[in-house]
Amino acid sequence: MLGTVAPSADAIARALVVRDAIRLQPSGAYAANELGLSDQVPSRIVFLTDGPARKIKIGKREIHLHHTTPRNMATAGRKSGTLIQALRHLGQDQVDEKVLAILRRQITDNDRPIIQKDLHHAPAWIADLLRPLTVPPL
């Protein structure tokens, strides 16, 4: 009825990680969408990587792998990395209480110590926003 259904971008990313022994980190609009900060599904899916930059075409979708710095890859594969990339995409001026409330709901008790540990990899303005979110609610 539906025809051939292409695999999700996450499934493709997981396969690439295993096959090519690289690390991937969702970036930009895709990271924001993953966290529920944006309802728009990005037409251009971008992952940061420590491997080579390239484009992967699956059906009509294209996944872009952008080679990046070790600092950007330090939090790859962890929620803190996705949080940092999503906030970087939104920009400091676009982060309000609504955005912080959405992020607060995304952070579990298990995530808090990891995010706290990873804050030194984030730009100062992002670390300042995330730090209060890593404190357990009363």
Residue 79 has pLDDT above 90, yes or no: yes
Mean pLDDT along residues 67-73: 93
Helices (H), 1-138: 9-20, 28-34, 70-73, 79-90, 97-106, 111-118, 124-130
CA distance 122 to 72: 8
Contact 6, 61 (CB under 8 A): yes
Residue 1 domain flag: no
Domain-located, residue 2: no
Burial class (CB in 10 A: 0-12, 13-18, 19+), 20: middle
Distance of alpha carbon 47 from alpha carbon 66, whole angstroms: 6
Residues of the domain holding 88: 9-134
Total domain count, the chain: 1
Which DSSP symbol is given to 107? -
pLDDT, tens digit (0-9, with 9 covering 90-100), for 119-131:
999 999 999 999 9
Task: Give 1's pLDDT tier (boundaries 50, 70, 90).
Answer: low
